[in-house]
Amino acid sequence: MTQVDPSLWLSSSQNQQRQPNNALGQDAFLKLLITQLQNQDPSNPIEDREFIAQLATFSQLEQLTKLNSTMEYMYYEQKSQQLMALSELIGKSVEWLNEKEKVEQATVTGVKYSESGDLLVQIDDDKWIEASKLISIIKPTTNE
């Protein structure tokens, strides 16, 4: 008979801080499964089908966790690319819609993300506007 490593047992101490997370992670799922196996009735053990279903659920959880990490990476990569593309406007004149829906012209002096994740453009060194308000890039006139 195989012994279960005591470090895997769930502690019953009241001193542990509970994290306010509603999602079950891989570690919590494994601990729950091990606890269930430790406390099962030896005369009526878990059926094979039920155990296999629980392992399949664990496998799905693991794959979803990996997928979530990949999607998060892709999201930040896309945000970075958007920022780099918009940074090419620095020093260029643009037209944009102000709060009264009137077209104004200004020179782009910076770009950044707001705390809410919106892409912002700094115009004329003093005002930040949403990048979605930009309507055109003004072609510089050449004096020949």
Query: Which residue is listed with tokens 């992670």?
Result: 25
For 42-107, the DSSP string reads TTSPPPHHHHHHHHHHHHHHHHHHHHHHHHHHHHHHHHHHHHHHHHTTTT-EEEEE-TTS-EEEEE
- Asked if residues 133 and 89 have their Cβ atoms less than 8 Å apart, the reply is no
Q: What is the pLDDT of residues 33-69, one digit of tens each?
A: 788 777 777 777 777 777 778 778 878 888 898 999 9
Residue 115's alpha-carbon distances to 7, 8, 69, 97, 128, in angstroms, are 41, 40, 22, 22, 13
Note if the pTM is more than 0.75: no
Residue 105 pLDDT exceeds 60: yes
Residue 1 pLDDT exceeds 50: no
Q: What pLDDT is stored for residue 28 in this prediction?
A: 76
Q: What pLDDT is stored for residue 67 in this prediction?
A: 94
Residue 71 pLDDT exceeds 90: yes
Average pLDDT over residues 59-81: 89
Local confidence band at 14 (pLDDT 50, 70, 90 cut-offs): very low
Q: What is the pLDDT of residues 107-135, one digit of tens each?
A: 888 998 888 888 899 988 788 988 889 88
| Average model confidence (pLDDT) across the chain | 78
Q: What pLDDT is stored for residue 5 in this prediction?
A: 58
